Structure 1
Amino acid sequence: MQEQTAEFIAGTNALALQISNLVLSYSLSTIGAIIILCVGWVIAGTLSKWTRQSLSKLKGFDHTLIGFLSASVRYGVLIVVLVMVLGQFGIQTASILAALGAVGLAIGLALQGTLQNIAAGIMLLVLRPFKVGEFVNAGAISGTVTEIGLFSTELKTYDGLFVMAPNSLLWNTPVTNYSRHKVRMHDFKVGIGYEDDVQKAFGIIKTIISDQKGVLKTPEPVYFVSQLADSSVVISCRYWIESAHYFTVSNTTTEQVKAAFEHGDINIPYPQVTYHRSGSSS
């Protein structure tokens, strides 16, 4: 009986010692995990804030991209911290990283189209082929850019319609930006009759163009005969306009040239076809 009691006491002491060692070991691991988590949380917030402030100082850097990059830095640090915390409890971090990689691959395949839009949105924000307020044309899409997001770009058409275009579509399509440069060239062409005075027509066009607001003196406008067509002599004028006045000046020039030609007895011929019919014997 005494031997059994002694064995029971010895077993109890051994179990208590194991539990004590286990509690002590996990207590230290828990304390270490808490310290790592707190320090990592502070570092993640600090780096995210530093990234936001540093990128905000860069002139012209898009605010959408600033938010995305600062958030990416924060969550990247937190993922590393989480792996370190799990390592404190003896969990194999290599298997965790492998699992995270597999999950990331699965998510990437499932959201392939969305990720393409995000990647295209980042490239659009970094390379900036267009900015908010600029009028662009990309294939079948045209309008004034109102917002550039990570997934899509919003535009307003000339007739007031709302267009939301996926960023991947805009990135993979040649984009014509009508507002990027401050000046644009207007290639004006008009046909006059073969019997009309070319120099007189040039004089009328020069007067009209020189009176237009927004027309640049340098480089000087160029006037020349560009084609001898079947029914007309095509005269051309290439002159530069401030982009803000382009549509007003180009439309006004066309309208005033037609009115001035009519007043100055200069014809603007249209294609004519003459039919000859040979006489038939009775």
Structure 2
Amino acid sequence: MDMHVIVRSATTLLTVYGLKLIGAVVILIVGWTLSSWANRAMLRLSGRASRLDPTLSLFLASVSRWAILGFTIIAVLSQFGVETTSLIAVLGAASIAVGLAMQGTLSHFASGVMLLIFRPFRIGDDIEVASSIGTVRAISLFATELAMADNVQLYLPNGMVWGAAIKNFSAHKTRRVDLSVNVGYGNRLDAVLAMIRDTIAADPRPLPQPEPQVVAGALGDMAVQIIIRVWVRSADYLVFRYDLVERLKQRFDDEGVQIALAEHRLHNPPAV
């Protein structure tokens, strides 16, 4: 082959593909730089938002970075004449196939994103969800970790958590303690009510507002139902409830108040 032809061919290749190669390298550098900048910027913005969970911050930063890198790769391929429209169609079809195969996992992932965005509970909150009560220890994109009252570790898939009713016992600063006790008709009602009010007033934990309520709720066949409602700080709820039951029993014993055992019942059993 003539040397001139070889040189001319090489020059043509370098001219055509060399410029494309340089353009591809430039696009890669720019895309990589932009992805890193977007990642850091998203982390900084998330850090300033006090209500945004750290897990969600990392997720958003990662998504922004990989989205830019994906567009960068497509732009690089287009530099070399690759038909990106067909490539995108193939990737879309593959994504649908993978999505169908991983439908359950993606459902937990989507639920995790919703939990991190809407924040029905935070780490450290006491919650009841999916018939389980515990303290939230971690919230990931696929599962929520609870510590049960006996310190047993429980992992719940986020699909179960987001799709169930959630009771957050730590959402508000105050909670109401509800008790109901039935006393026999042989007791003086006004004296029993005064005794219960005195017992509550002797404890510093009940809040002055709303005022504690101690009222006769109903007249049964064998007893009078007394309803007790006391507002306390959420952190004091469980201990105060136990203490109140114990002190009332002691006062009833000391004063000779007869509890109608057959009808005695407690409303709203204590939760963490």
TM-score, normalized by length of structure 1? 0.89
Determine the C-alpha separation between the residues in 1 that align with 2:260 and 2:140.
51
How does 1:210-229 map onto structure 2 within 5 Å? 210-229=201-220
Larger radius of gyration: 1
Structure 1, unpaired ranges of 5+: 1-7, 273-282
Deviation at 1:230, TM superposition (A): 1.9
Query: Is residue 36–residue 85 contact of structure 1 (8 Å, CA) maintained in 2?
Result: yes
Query: Is residue 206–residue 212 contact of structure 2 (8 Å, CA) maintained in 1?
Result: no
Q: Determine if the alignment matches structure 1 residue 75 to structure 2 residue 66.
A: yes
Per-residue CA distance 1:141-175 (angstroms, 9 max, x = gap): 21000111111111100111000111111000000
Q: Is the partner of 2:52 in helix, strand or coil? A: coil
Determine the C-alpha separation between the residues in 2 that align with 1:117 and 1:175.
16
Calculate the aligned-residue CA RMSD, in Å.
1.5
Work out which of the residue numbers 88, 100, 114 in structure 1 matches 2:105: 114
Partner of 2:33: 42
Q: Is the partner of 1:27 in helix, strand or coil? A: helix
Q: Determine if the alignment matches structure 1 residue 53 to structure 2 residue 44.
A: yes
Determine the C-alpha separation between the residues in 1 that align with 2:203 and 2:95.
60
Give the ranges of 4+ consecutive aligned residues of structure 1 lying more than 3 Å apart after TM superposition. 12-16
Q: Is the partner of 1:150 in helix, strand or coil? A: coil
Q: Determine if the alignment matches structure 1 residue 261 to structure 2 residue 252.
A: yes
Work out which of the residue numbers 145, 162, 174 in structure 1 matches 2:153: 162
Deviation at 1:20, TM superposition (A): 2.6
Q: Is the partner of 2:117 in helix, strand or coil? A: helix
Query: Is residue 196–residue 214 contact of structure 2 (8 Å, CA) maintained in 1?
Result: no
Quick one: which amino acid aligns to residue 84 of structure 1? A
Query: Is residue 44–residue 74 contact of structure 1 (8 Å, CA) maintained in 2?
Result: yes
Query: Is residue 227–residue 235 contact of structure 1 (8 Å, CA) maintained in 2?
Result: yes
Q: Determine if the alignment matches structure 1 residue 270 to structure 2 residue 261.
A: yes
Q: Is the partner of 1:200 in helix, strand or coil? A: helix
Partner of 1:247: 238
Query: Is residue 193–residue 267 contact of structure 1 (8 Å, CA) maintained in 2?
Result: yes
Q: Is the partner of 2:180 in helix, strand or coil? A: strand
Query: Is residue 28–residue 76 contact of structure 2 (8 Å, CA) maintained in 1?
Result: yes
Quick one: which amino acid aligns to residue 47 of structure 2? S
Quick one: which amino acid aligns to residue 227 of structure 1? A
Deviation at 1:32, TM superposition (A): 0.7
Ranked by relative contact order (alpha carbons within 8 Å, sequence separation 6 or more), the top structure is: 2
Query: Is residue 192–residue 234 contact of structure 1 (8 Å, CA) maintained in 2?
Result: yes
Per-residue CA distance 1:104-157 (angstroms, 9 max, x = gap): 112211221111111111111111111111110013221000111111111100
Structure 2, unpaired ranges of 5+: 264-272
Quick one: which amino acid aligns to residue 20 of structure 2? S
Partner of 2:268: none
Q: Is the partner of 1:192 in helix, strand or coil? A: strand
Q: Is the partner of 1:226 in helix, strand or coil? A: strand
Deviation at 1:268, TM superposition (A): 0.5
Partner of 1:150: 141
Residue identity (%): 33
Partner of 1:174: 165
Deviation at 1:207, TM superposition (A): 1.0
Determine the C-alpha separation between the residues in 1 that align with 2:262 and 2:59.
60
Q: Is the partner of 1:156 in helix, strand or coil? A: strand
Quick one: which amino acid aligns to residue 174 of structure 1? A
Determine the C-alpha separation between the residues in 1 that align with 2:38 and 2:167.
38
Deviation at 1:243, TM superposition (A): 0.8
Q: Determine if the alignment matches structure 1 residue 207 to structure 2 residue 198.
A: yes
